[in-house]
C-alpha cells in the first residue's frame, strides 16, 4: 500500500467528475502542458489527504488523434488523472446542451433560457441520448481502472446516469454520488421529461449525498412522488433495497488559507491593497460570472446604497472579481455585457476624477492575491440567486481572523444553513433589503462583528473539506457493509 508522508493510504478512491482538475494545452503532436485549474470541487478535494485518490474525467479538450490521446494519457497519469475522451459533437450535446442548458438552470430554479425555450424542448431527446452516451463512456473508463475494494465517488449533475451504468458492470462496486448544486423542489424536477430515468439511475448508487437537508428532502420526495417509492428516514427503499440519502455539507481546506496569510508575498499584497484603498471601506464579491451568482442584482443593490447614503460615496469601494465561464454561450455573453453596462453607469454616476466606486475584473485571481483580498475586506457580498453551497463565503471567513469583517449572504445559498447565524442573511432579489444590509454591515460595532465572525470561523475551521470527504467515504463503506448484512439475514 502506497504511503504519503509516512502514513498508509486508507483506500483507493476513484473520483469521477465531468472535468479533470487540470487544464491541458497541446504543445506539439505528442506534447502537453498541464495546469491545475480552479473551481469549487477542486478547492474542496485539494484538502483531502488520506485517500489514494485518482481522478477520472474529461480534460476539456478535443483530442481526435491517437498520438495526442496517448501522450495526454501519459502526462495526466503523473498527476493521478485518467482522461475520458469526448468528441466535439458529444460535448456540444451532452455538456453544453443537456448539462448546462437544461439541468444547470433547472436545478437553480431559473428555468430554460428564455429565447430558445422551444428549440431546447425540441432538441431535448437528442441531448438526453448524448448525456446517457457520455455517462456510459465515463463508466467504461471507470470499469477499466476499477480494482476490487475501490470506492467510486461520482460527482454532480453531469453524471446522474453513471451509478446505474457502473452497477450494470458490477453490482458489487461501492458507488457514491454527490450533487454540488441544489436539488430543486420535486415540483420543479417533475417538469423534466427524463425525470424518472434520472432518479432511477441515481438510486442505483449505494449512497447519495447533498449539501443540505433541504436538497436531500427534495430528492426523496421526488422519488416518492414521481417513482412511487417509499421514503424512509434513511433514504429511499425500492423492493427491499435501500439507497442511503443524506446531507454532507462541504467545507474548505481552512488551514491552507490561514497559512497563506502568513506568507511574505501575501503580506506584501495586503500592504499594497491597504495603501491603495486607505481611507475607504472595502467590499468584495468573488464569483464565477454565472447567472446563479446574482452579480447584476448585487451591483444594483450597491448603487441603491450609494444613492441613499451620499456620505459613504467616497468612503467605500466595491471590488467585484468575476471569472468568465462558458464564454461561448450567448446567455453568458449577454450577462457579461449587462454587468459591464451597469458598472460603467454607476462609475459614471458616482465616480470622481480620482476614484471610482466599483472595480470590476473579468478574470481569475491567483490563490495568494485572492487570500490578500479576502483579508483586507470589510464586507463580503455573496448574493447568489441559488447556490449549492458557496465556498467563497467560507474562504472569506477563513481569512478574516484579524479583521473580523461582515459577511452578507444570500438565504438561497446552501452556506446560509451553516453560516447563517454569523452572517447577515438577505433575499438577493430584494435590492432594497440588500442595500440596507450594506449599511448595517458597514456600521456594525466591533463587538457585534467579533461575535458573528467567531461563530463562522469556528464552523469553517471545524467542518473542513477533508472532514467532508472522509465522512462521505466512510459512510459509503458503512452503507455497503450494512446492506450486505441485511441481505445475509
Give the residues lining the site for ligand ADQ (CB under 6 A).
38-41, 43-44, 180-181, 250, 286-288, 321, 323, 364-365, 370, 387-392, 395
Question: What's the min distance (Å) between Cβ of 230 and ligand ADQ?
Answer: 29
Task: Give the Cβ contact number of residue 392 at 10 Å.
Answer: 29
242 or 409: CB nearest ligand ADQ: 409
Comparing C-alpha atoms, which of 151, 155, 177, 154 is closest to residue 50?
Answer: 151
Look at residue 279 and give its three-state secondary structure.
coil
- Where is 210: in which H helix or E strand? strand 207-210
Question: What's the min distance (Å) between Cβ of 278 and ligand ADQ?
Answer: 24
39 or 351: CB nearest ligand ADQ: 39
Strand bridging mode 235-238 / 241-247:
antiparallel
81 or 465: CB nearest ligand ADQ: 465
C-alpha cell recorded at residue 335: 450577462
21 or 68: CB nearest ligand ADQ: 21
Q: What are phi and psi of 51, to 5 degrees?
A: -120, 155
Q: Are 17 and 157 in contact (CB under 8 A)?
A: no
What's 87's DSSP letter?
Answer: -
231 or 420: CB nearest ligand ADQ: 420
Bridge partners, residue 153, by sequence = 15, 176
Euclidean distance between CA atoms 127 and 101, whole angstroms: 10
Question: What's the min distance (Å) between Cβ of 31 and ligand ADQ?
Answer: 28
Question: What's the min distance (Å) between Cβ of 367 and ligand ADQ?
Answer: 8
286 or 480: CB nearest ligand ADQ: 286
Which residues, in sequence order, are CB contacts of 293 under 8 Å at separation 6+?
A: 287, 322, 383, 384, 385, 387
Q: Where are the alpha helices (DSSP H) in 279-390?
A: 295-308, 330-350, 367-376
Question: What's the min distance (Å) between Cβ of 387 and ligand ADQ?
Answer: 4
Bridge partners, residue 36, by sequence = 22
38 or 61: CB nearest ligand ADQ: 38
Task: Give the Cβ contact number of residue 451 at 10 Å.
Answer: 13
206 or 287: CB nearest ligand ADQ: 287
134 or 321: CB nearest ligand ADQ: 321
C-alpha cell recorded at residue 103: 439541468
Strand bridging mode 406-410 / 379-382:
parallel
Strand ranges of the sheet holding 230-231, from the earlier edge strand across to the other edge: 81-83, 52-58, 12-19, 151-155, 174-178, 207-210, 241-247, 235-238, 230-231
Question: What's the min distance (Å) between Cβ of 225 and ligand ADQ?
Answer: 25
Bridge partners, residue 446, by sequence = none
43 or 437: CB nearest ligand ADQ: 43
Q: Which residue is nearest to ligand ADQ (CB)?
A: 40
Euclidean distance between CA atoms 411 and 392, whole angstroms: 15
Amino acid at each position: 500500500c502506497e504511503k504519503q508522508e509516512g502514513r498508509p493510504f486508507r483506500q483507493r478512491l476513484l473520483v469521477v467528475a465531468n472535468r479533470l482538475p487540470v487544464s491541458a494545452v497541446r504543445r506539439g503532436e505528442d506534447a502537453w502542458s498541464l495546469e491545475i485549474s480552479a473551481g469549487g470541487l477542486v478547492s474542496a478535494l485539494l484538502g483531502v489527504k488520506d485517500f489514494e485518490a485518482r481522478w477520472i474525467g474529461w480534460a476539456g479538450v478535443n483530442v481526435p488523434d491517437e498520438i495526442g490521446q496517448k501522450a495526454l494519457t501519459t502526462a495526466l497519469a503523473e498527476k493521478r488523472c485518467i482522461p475520458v475522451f469526448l468528441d466535439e459533437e458529444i460535448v456540444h450535446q451532452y455538456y453544453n446542451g443537456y448539462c448546462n442548458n437544461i439541468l444547470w438552470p433547472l436545478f437553480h430554479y431559473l428555468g430554460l433560457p428564455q429565447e430558445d425555450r422551444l428549440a431546447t424542448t425540441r432538441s431535448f431527446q437528442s441531448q438526453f441520448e448524448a448525456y446517457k452516451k457520455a455517462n456510459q463512456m465515463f463508466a467504461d473508463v471507470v470499469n477499466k481502472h476499477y480494482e476490487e475494494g475501490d470506492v467510486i465517488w461520482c460527482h454532480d449533475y453531469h453524471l446522474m446516469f453513471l451509478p446505474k451504468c457502473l452497477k450494470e458492470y458490477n453490482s458489487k462496486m461501492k458507488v457514491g454520488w454527490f450533487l454540488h448544486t441544489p436539488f430543486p423542489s420535486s415540483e420543479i424536477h417533475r417538469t423534466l421529461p427524463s425525470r424518472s430515468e434520472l432518479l432511477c439511475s441515481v438510486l442505483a448508487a449505494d449512497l447519495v449525498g447533498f449539501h443540505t437537508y433541504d436538497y436531500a428532502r427534495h430528492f426523496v420526495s421526488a422519488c416518492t412522488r414521481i417513482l412511487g417509492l417509499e421514503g424512509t428516514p434513511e433514504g429511499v427503499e425500492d423492493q427491499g433495497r435501500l439507497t442511503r440519502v443524506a446531507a454532507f455539507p462541504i467545507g474548505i481546506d481552512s488551514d491552507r488559507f490561514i497559512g497563506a496569510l502568513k506568507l511574505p508575498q501575501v503580506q506584501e499584497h495586503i500592504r499594497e491593497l491597504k495603501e491603495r484603498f486607505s481611507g475607504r471601506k472595502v467590499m468584495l464579491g468573488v464569483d464565477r460570472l454565472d447567472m446563479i451568482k446574482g452579480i447584476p442584482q448585487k451591483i444594483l443593490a450597491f448603487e441603491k446604497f450609494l444613492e441613499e447614503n451620499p456620505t459613504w460615496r467616497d468612503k467605500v469601494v466595491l471590488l467585484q472579481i468575476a471569472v468568465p465561464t462558458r464564454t461561448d454561450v450567448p446567455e453568458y455573453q449577454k450577462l457579461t455585457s449587462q454587468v459591464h453596462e451597469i458598472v460603467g453607469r454607476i462609475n459614471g454616476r458616482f465616480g470622481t476624477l480620482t476614484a471610482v466606486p466599483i472595480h470590476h475584473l473579468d478574470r481569475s485571481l491567483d490563490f495568494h492575491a485572492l487570500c490578500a483580498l479576502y483579508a483586507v475586506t470589510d464586507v463580503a457580498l455573496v448574493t447568489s440567486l441559488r447556490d449549492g453551497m458557496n465556498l467563497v463565503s467560507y474562504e472569506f471567513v477563513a481569512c478574516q481572523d484579524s479583521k473580523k469583517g461582515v459577511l452578507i449572504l444570500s438565504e438561497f445559498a446552501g452556506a446560509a444553513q451553516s453560516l447563517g447565524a454569523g452572517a447577515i442573511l438577505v433575499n438577493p432579489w430584494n435590492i432594497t433589503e440588500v442595500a440596507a444590509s450594506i449599511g448595517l454591515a458597514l456600521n456594525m460595532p466591533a463587538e457585534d462583528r467579533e461575535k458573528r465572525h467567531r461563530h463562522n470561523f469556528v464552523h469553517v475551521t471545524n467542518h473542513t473539506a477533508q472532514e467532508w470527504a472522509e465522512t462521505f467515504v466512510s459512510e459509503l463503506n458503512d452503507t455497503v457493509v450494512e446492506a450486505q448484512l441485511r441481505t445475509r439475514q
